[in-house]
Amino acid sequence: MSEQRVVATIRCHGAGNTFFILDESREELIPDSLKGPFARLVCDRGHGIGSDGIVFVSTHDADQPRMRFFNPDGSEAEMCGNGLRCASRACFEAGYRGKNPLVFKTLAGDFKTENFVSPLHQLPFVRVTTDAISTNPARMLASRSSTPFIAQPLLVEGQAWVGTMISIGNPHLIVPVADLRTLDLMALGHAMEHHPIFLNRANISFVQLVDRQTILVQTYERGAGLTLSCGTGMIASVVAQVLDGAVDNNQPVAVHTAGGIVWVTPRVTEAAITAELTGNASWVYKGKIHLLIGEESIQFATQTKIEKEQFYPEEASNYEKLARQSLFDRSILRGTPLEQSVTLS
């Protein structure tokens, strides 16, 4: 027996990384067993609505929210840095109204978030402080080796690369390159994500150094493919560059992507590694999705997959001004699924 259900959602983005947020703090909107299928349904850019992931926010306790994140392929990720910024804004404006900072429970650990309005960019910003970042690759590697993998060689389809493995609760391989424009991002990203060295795949970020406080990053996300940006990928990229001596520690590093710019402040000491990720959390529109939910299936109930109700044109305009400052050459994305991407679509 199937039932029709209408769920409220927010279309949002962090640095061009687009999501739908569902607030489950009062009730479960999507049954747990169908959250993965729901993500596949909605995120599909050909037959669904199109998105880089689904963010579910709920209540851990009176003072602490929870975030769960599902990739377009239906897999649940441990964390999403851009998604967490959007989740923080949603909670700050709703069930945890005005509480600042917030500390989110995620599968990757606890993350502190601070909401504020950037006076320079006139946009809602969120600063995320990570839990401890690890260079122990034991949970990433099929071999379960705990020896740090920092600036180590990696053979991919007969070609040698150098990479650094970083865990921010989710697995990352950071690969420095001289020029992003020389890469076959789709083929190389897919091959690296699925490299047999990994236990359960990995997020792959290619990093081009501009100067000691500026880098360009393109990420091939586990379960999503190429995205305009990846929050944890940008954090891992900066930390890896600090470990390699290429960028400054304890200073904001501007990370330029196809989706825009964020700032990562790495805190690397002998005792621990943490970082702060600061960037926008922008609303595109609020709407309602009409669903037909069965015991083992979920589908759209109407031809109009989402009913858009409220748009945020001022946020869109102000963010576009910021995104245009990115040094990332978007011609790099020609021939990829992102070629026609619009940041606020």
CB atoms near residue 76 (< 10 Å): 15
Neighbours of 44 (CB within 10 A): 14
Cα torsion through 143, 145, 149, 154, rounded to 10: -20
Q: How far is CA 253 from CA 48, 236, 249, in A?
A: 36, 12, 9
Q: Is 337 helix (H, G, I), strand (E, B) or coil?
A: coil
Question: Angle at which helices 231-243 and 81-93 pack, to 10 degrees?
Answer: 130
43 is catalytic: no
Segment (H or E) for 187: helix 185-193
Q: Are residues 54 and 43 in contact, defined by beta-carbon separation less than 8 angstroms?
A: yes
Angle at 291 between CA 286 and CA 293, to 5 degrees: 140
For residue 150, with 0-12 CB atoms within 10 Å meaning exposed, 13-18 middle and 19 or more buried, which class applies? middle
HEC profile for 298-333?
A: EEECCCCCEEEEEECHHHHHHHHHHHCCCCCCHHHH
Vertex 193 angle, CA 189 and 196, to 5°: 130
Choice among 43, 86, 91, 230 that is catalytic: 230
The residue among 107, 100, 5, 99 whose CA lies nearest residue 55 is 107
Catalytic-labelled residue, pool 12, 43, 80, 86: 80
* Residues belonging to the active site: 80, 230
